[in-house]
C-alpha cells in the first residue's frame, strides 16, 4: 500500500522561513505535488517534483529525494495569508493511469 506522512500542525512567525516535510513509501512513484488548501476551499497547485533536487518558484521551493522517499516544501518570507493546510501528494502510476494520493496534510499557522 501507500504511506504518506506529514506533521499535523506547525506554527511560524510572519517573515520567517518554514520547512514542511513529507515522507512516503509507495510503489509506482511518478512525481510529487504540493498543494495549498484554505479552509472550505479547493486545493491549489504549488509545485511539482519528479527528479531529485530543488525546484524554486518565488517564495516557495520544493525538494525531492527519491532514494529517501522524502520531500519538503520551503516557504520564505512568511505572510499571514500563508496560514493554510499544505498537502503533499504522490502521483502513482497504476493500472495504465496516474492516480494522486494525498498525505495527511500539515496545518500551518502564521503568527505575528
Partner 1 sequence: GAVVSQHPSRVICKSGTSVKIECRSLDFQATTMFWYRQFPKKSLMLMATSNEGSKATYEQGVEKDKFLINHASLTLSTLTVTSAHPEDSSFYICSAPQGEYEKLFFGSGTQLSVL
Min dist. Cβ of residue 6 to partner 1 (A): 9
Min dist. Cβ of residue 48 to partner 1 (A): 5
54 belongs to the binding site for partner 1 (CB under 8 A): no
# of chain residues touching partner 1 (CB under 8 A): 23
> In degrees rounded to 5, what are phi and psi of residue 29?
-60, 130
44 belongs to the binding site for partner 1 (CB under 8 A): yes
How far is residue 31's CA from residue 97's CA, in Å, rounded to a whole number? Answer: 13
Q: How many CB atoms lie within 10 A of CB 7?
A: 14
Min dist. Cβ of residue 21 to partner 1 (A): 15
Min dist. Cβ of residue 20 to partner 1 (A): 13
33 belongs to the binding site for partner 1 (CB under 8 A): yes
DSSP for 20-83 reads EEEEEE-SSEEEEEEEEE-TTS--EEEEEE-SSEEEEETTEEEEEETTTTEEEEEE-S--GGG-
Looking at the Cβ atoms of 70 and 101, the one nearer to partner 1 is: 101
Query: Could you list the residues that contact partner 1 (CB under 8 A)?
Result: 31, 33, 40-45, 48, 50, 85, 87, 95, 97-105, 107
Amino acid at each position: 500500500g501507500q504511506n504518506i506522512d506529514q506533521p499535523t500542525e506547525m506554527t511560524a512567525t510572519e517573515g520567517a522561513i518554514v520547512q514542511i516535510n513529507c515522507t512516503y513509501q509507495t510503489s509506482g512513484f511518478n512525481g510529487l505535488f504540493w498543494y495549498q488548501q484554505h479552509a472550505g476551499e479547493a486545493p491549489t497547485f504549488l509545485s511539482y517534483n519528479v527528479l531529485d533536487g530543488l525546484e524554486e518558484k518565488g517564495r516557495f521551493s520544493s525538494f525531492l529525494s527519491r532514494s529517501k522517499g522524502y520531500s519538503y516544501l520551503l516557504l520564505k518570507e512568511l505572510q499571514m495569508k500563508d496560514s493554510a493546510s499544505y498537502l503533499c501528494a504522490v502521483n502513482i502510476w497504476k493500472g495504465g493511469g496516474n492516480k494522486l494520493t494525498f498525505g495527511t496534510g500539515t496545518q500551518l499557522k502564521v503568527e505575528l
